Structure 1
Amino acid sequence: MLPSPDQLPATLSRVTQPLDDVDVVITTSGSTDGRGHLVGLSLEALLASARATLDRLRGPGQWLTSLPVHHVAGFQVVLRSAVAGIAPTVHPRGRPLAESVAAMLTDVPRYLSLVPTQLVRALETDAGALAAFSGILVGGAALPPAVAARARDLGLRVVATYGMTETSGGCVYDGVPLDSVRVRLVDDVVQLAGPVLATRYLDTAAQPFVSDAGERWLVTADLGSWEEGRLRVLGRADDVLVSGGVNVHPRVVEDRLAATLGGHWAVVGVADAHWGHLVTAVGEQPVSLEAVREATAVLAPAERPRAVVVVEGLPHLGSGKVDRRAVRELAAAQLAAGRGERRR
């Protein structure tokens, strides 16, 4: 069982489903309900993921780890290290990245696994040290195109990963599925199949899997599209805002804001009697609503934010994902108190 230690008793009490074919239990981030599911995974599925990742990269190597092992990304760093037979190097919080890199082996490939916010900070403070890695996996949340472009302009070997606890971690790298992983879109919803799939949820009888022609598929909560043969994830279906009767994908707006204004952004819908959802941009740097709307002028009218709120830091979940529920509540409170800017 891999919840954080202080949550173990409460986690055990939530198990209601059989434990057969379950070797490891990892809690999802809870980005929707704040609680998350208990995901039962087999060692077979976890190893399939670890081996497929090493096959896609430059083979076994040494990993630098800074992610918590009670989330799937951190667990996979440890498992890939075990498969390779090479102990990972631990990167303590606050330690300069260059110092950790200096402690790593030099005769094998070196790998790093990060969430996007960590990559942004590293680019600002330790860009030179990042060049020492043969591969930098970035997952847990969407990698803003502007950040990816900046990293690649520096010659860094960044790989944008897509996956989840239910797929034993990342299973689509730079839009291309790992070997033996299959992807399809059903009504624009991403579905995944292959040996990396979890056994079942353990806290509910409702399962996210369907069977089609004898093959088991995970029905994700994500919307996607194909672009030049690569999967593009548009965001979670339940993140879609309806503003003035028009669907708005927050990630499209966030990517545009990051590309034009820089910084970190979350776009949420604040309840509004006129619009249904008031499209609200929440950022970490002082900015006017006029600047936000100018930056998004190329988007559809409904996608352009009609409110902006500035915060000291976007709240994040333990997995590194932006906590959208917390951001939405924070934005609503700020606007209700007369802080931020809005237009009708």
Structure 2
Amino acid sequence: MASCLVVLTALLGLTCAIKIDRTPLLMPGVAPQKADTYMCYTMKLNSNMEQNLVGFLPNTSHVVHHMLLYGCPEPGSQERVWNCGGDMSGTSGDDNAQETSPVCQSDEKILYAWAHNAPSLELPEDVGFQVGGETNIQYLVLQVHYNDQVKDYHNKDGKKDHSGITLLHTMEELPRQAGVIVMLANGRIPAQRQEVVDIACPIVENTEIHPFAYRVHTHKLGKAVSGYVIQDGKWNLLGKRDPQTPQMFYPVADDKLVLSAGDIIAARCTMDNPHEHAVKMGSTMMDEMCNFYLMYWTEKPYAPVSQDSCVSLGPPYVYWDTFGLKDIPADSSKP
């Protein structure tokens, strides 16, 4: 991390005067050669010193479809830049970036996501993603998914991409640790039909989970995404959004909600497929995605929960009623 120390409290509107560093994590000048290339670039953290990530400032170009920031014990490759998703067949135009490998060797944690011109994100007061030191996150990995405009980087002028994120981080001790639960689905959307894609999982850990932000993600067929927590049979809204609007993290509908073991988290994506062919869930822009990200905090000494994902088989195999869920909100398919 950068050693230059600055105070950004007034600039960012943070309510507590903590000292914050800014460190850019940007692609080091790459030229993706084909659409739907996923490329990763890593940063080693200080293993002798824990820090807290408290904000994320995106810096993107027109060739970026979306970005994800991961925390890893070890990166998926020892290369400087590597292919790390999609069809795994793209090349970056960099002699050091021919390897295809996963994002992390194991235990990958999503810390931040960006798409659709989303603005910056600042975490609430006293909340941070704890990284480095003795934590399990020793590396940060930036994953960038490139769209079909990469042809602009094939010119002889040598144009390169430097998209990425400026990290806001502090050495200050913070009492609350941030985490992310990602809900996602597989399956397919039938031709010329509106379809719902449903996801649900029980919370299995005893730690109290305090959600504070959510983010939705689909591709072009998505019309609405909604998320709920079901407590004692009651559906409590976490958030709902039109996924064609900026895909930033928005405040949850009720910041007083506390999730605990036995609660059920549920998400629904409403898809409208006008094509004469079915569209499957997948990683390319021709595929679809149904994602609901829930960002939360836990009080120290409790760490973020290990239950960081919830996956559904999706249509035509699984729906909310398949899970035995009842009293489904009538407006769950509306943004």
What TM-score do the two structures reach when normalised by structure 1?
A: 0.25
What TM-score do the two structures reach when normalised by structure 2?
A: 0.25
Going by fraction, where is strand more abundant, 1 or 2? 2
Going by fraction, where is helix more abundant, 1 or 2? 1
Answer 1 or 2: higher relative contact order, Cα 8 Å, separation at least 6: 2
